Structures are given as structure tokens and as C-alpha cells.
Chains A and B, each alone.
Chain A
Amino acid sequence: MQFLECRGVGKIYASKAGPVEALRGIDLAASEGEFVCLLGLSGCGKSTLLQLIAGLEAPTAGSIRVGGIELDGPSDETSIVFQDHGLFPWMTVERNIEFNMKARNVPSDARAARAGELLTMMRLSGFATRYPHELSGGMRQRVGIARALTTRPRALLMDEPFGALDAQTRGRLQEELLQIWEHQRTTVLFVTHSIDEAVFLADRVAVFSPQPGRITATVPVELPRPRDPETPRFTALKKELRRMLVPDMHGAALL
């Protein structure tokens, strides 16, 4: 059985100019431990879908199941990581990491122990008592990921987590994320608009099209890991995805 399952999911927002259809007929599934990238240009509804799966909003059509249970608000099985990291500026790194556990009433000594583990794992040990604004962008996002992992989620929902980082930091965090994923075997749903990122990370790529947001293709990435972006197969796959992403432009210089 699929661990994560969307069936016929649609989302219509009311706006002053009338209803806006953000998503239509989304069928998407991810098995336990699978890494799925949601790839699309901005405004194609991929982030909206992630918010729905996170339980932050309810779909207007269809159903979403996490761990076999129909979603009704945020699930204990998932954790979300945002692009703008969503760290609380008034909390130290340590307290930020502890927040999700605090929300679930984990006793404070257990919280501290688990936070310590994640500080080590994310190579943040020397920064426990710093405030987020004292950290670099890459480190902030490591804190965001650490916080998401504290509750040992079975699925990690990531909304363009590396979108605001420079290329080098981004590459390093991608590799770190893969290590974590291989180690913990969590399911990952990863939203991105970067074809490179999707091909580098994913087991499977769901390609989105806008107006209304829908999935037009699902492409398995059958490249051996660790992947090398220089290989012809990697490049060929990128080309194929680019064609799917912007069919009428034949993958023009846009990307």
C-alpha cells in the first residue's frame, strides 16, 4: 500500500475576481521511503499541494491519505520545511529545534537529548545558543530540517527548501539531505522549480502544469546514486523534463 496518497485532489480559492482553481484532479502516491519531487514553474500549484498534504489547508475535492488515514488537519506522521525556513527569530537554535517536540508535549529532558542528537547530525553543535539571524542561509535551513526531523516523521514535506540559497550551499545541502534520507528512509516530497535539483534528488518526478495546476507526467529517475550531473543520461533526462515542463517552447532558454 502507498504511504502517501492523493486521489482526485482539487483546490479552489475564493478571490475578489471570482473563484481561482489552483489544483485539479491530482493523483499522486508515494511509497514508504520514496523520494518524490514535485517539479513545476511558479504558480503551478505544487506548493499548494504540499500545504494540503501538510494538513494546513483542506482540499475542495478528492481525498488525501497519510499512512492509510484520511487527512483531517496536520498529521503526526509528517513534518514540513519551508523555503524561508520559518525559524522563530526570538528563539535560539536549540529552542527552535525543540519547538515541534514542545508542541507534542515531549518532556523537556527528552527534548534536550533529541535536540542534541540533531545538532550533531546537522553539524550545528557550536551554534545551539545562537539566534537564527546570526547564522548563514544554509545553516538556517539546516536548523529548519533538524526541527522537522525531531519528531521522527515518516514523511518529510519540503517546500523549495533550498530555493533561496546560493548554488554551492544548495549543492552541499542536497547531498546532506540525501545522506539523511538514505539513513532514515523517510518518504520525501520535495517541491522545486529546478530540473537539475529534481533529477539529482528524486526517485520519481511529478511534472506540474499551471492553470489549473495539474500533474501532466510522472517520470521515474532510474539513475544510480550518487548521481553525476555530467553524465549523458542525466543530461538526457533533464532535456526530456524540460520538454514536458514547457512543451510549447520546446525547452527554450527559459530554464
Chain B
Amino acid sequence: MPSRVFGLLPLLALLVLWQAVSWAQIYPTVLLPPPAKVAAAFVTEYPDIFRNAAASITRVIVGVSLAFCFAVPLGLLIGRYQILDVLADWSIQIFRSVPPISLIPMALLFFGIGDKPAIVLIFLAATWPLLINTIFGVRSIERTLIKVARAARASEQLIFRDIILPSAMPAVFTGLRLAIGGWLTVVTAEMIAVKSGLGYMILNAQLTFRSELIVAGIVVIGAIGLIADQGVRTLRARVCRWQEGLTAEAE
């Protein structure tokens, strides 16, 4: 496998391009701050950035955790019992098509300004990928395995715990990655519904013409996204160790 360091190349290229554009003075510094100015912002505004990032991350963790606890068990049941699938399918397809961002006005009316609407929104955004992937995971279980369990007269409880859950786990993790990827919902929500967090920080920086703080916020958002995704992948590799060498992805 090629070294992971390769992944830094496009980022370095972007940095060089950014520096070059700044030197060439194509855009005024007020609009496009040079990298050095953004770096300086990290140093001087460090407490502010940290506080807002922590606020955002907390909301994401709470929202995604709630969605996980709700969507995964529900998905296991829907995947296992056809009657629940028939019952839920249309509703899922309808509601998952609604962009969570379009629910911000509703969330504001119900919950006012603060943590609550932001958490509700990320909960809604995270629920769908988790639910749909969990259902898919249960569906893709080899039929023979269920037959083995039935022939052994395994209880429904044992079938859930020892067969359906572990077999759906890789798909659940795919859902989790997508759910965490949806954390931009929180940034959007923070621009409107809350007075803290990275989204709020970015919007506020725009109002005060602090473009270097906007870029700093964007960098932090991207970095958190990368770290979160790596974290989920590592966790997945550990939980689904049995998959090693079984799928092309693990190569």
C-alpha cells in the first residue's frame, strides 16, 4: 500500500496555490487573507476558536449518539421483520428526502435559540443514514446463516445478538460515517439558531470583516471532519476485525 503521506500532497498543493494567489494580489487581502494571517489568527484567537469548536463537537456527539441509540435498534427490527418494513418504508423514504436545513425554521419555533434546535437537527440528519444502512446490513445477511440458527433452534434473542447484530455491524459503521459526515448540519444550524459554535463564529467573523477567522473556522471544521472519520474507521476496523482480508476495502 502506498504511504499515507501521499494524502498530504493535494493539501500542500492547495496551500501553495493559496499563497501564490495572495502574493499576486488577485483579491484584496480583506477578502482572501494570506495563509500567514490565518495562522496568526489561530494563535491570537485560540481560546475563542477552541471554545466554539468544543461547543460544536459536543452538539454533534450528543446528536449523533441519540440518533445511534434510536436508529440502530429500530433498523435491526425493521430489517428483521417484514411487517415493520412495510409499515415504515414509505415514511422513511418521504422524511429522509427532507433536507434537515429546511427544518431549521420549525426547530427555532419549537425550541427557540440555543443548543436544543441544533441537537434536534443533527439528530434528524444522522438518523436517516444510520437507519437505512442498518436495515441494509440486516437484509444482506446470508440466508444460510439464518437457516443454521433456525435448525439449531436458536432463540430470537440469540439470533439478534450473535447473528444479526454482528453481521449488520459493517453497514452500521458505514451509516455512522455518513451520519458524522452530516455534521455540517450543525454548522448551518449554528449560523441561525445558536450563539456559539463554529458556524456562529464564522457568521460573526463575516459581519465584522474578519475573513482570516472565517478561513480559520473552515480549516477547523475540515480538520474535525477528518479526525472524526479516521476515528470511526479505526473503531470499525477493531469491532469488525473478522472482516480483515474479507473485503477489498481492507486490502
List residues of A whose CB falls within 8 A of some B CB.
Answer: 51, 54-56, 73-74, 76, 78-80, 82, 84, 86, 88-91, 99-100, 102-104, 131, 133-134, 151
Contacts and interface: CB of A to CB of B under 8 A. Distances in A.
A86 B242 contact: no
Interface string B218-251: 0000000000000000000000101101100000
B151 A74 contact: yes
Nearest to A101: B152
A86 B153 contact: no
Contacts of B144: 82, 84, 86
Counting contact residues on chain B (CB < 8 A from A), the size range is: 20 to 34
A133 B163 CA distance: 17
Does more than half of chain A's interface fall in helix, strand or loop, or is it mixed? loop
A103 B147 contact: no
B48 interface: no
Nearest to A82: B144
Interface in B189-232: none
A86 B246 contact: no
Given A82-B144, A102-B158, A88 B163 contact: yes
A176 B154 CA distance: 28
Contacts of B167: 88, 90
Contact of B150 (A56, A84, A104): A56
Given A86-B144, A86-B145, A102-B162, A80 B151 contact: yes
Contacts of B155: 103
Contact of B158 (A79, A80, A103): A103
Contacts of B114: none
A133 B245 CA distance: 8
Contacts of A74: 150-153
A100 B242 contact: no
A134 B151 contact: no
Nearest to A150: B152
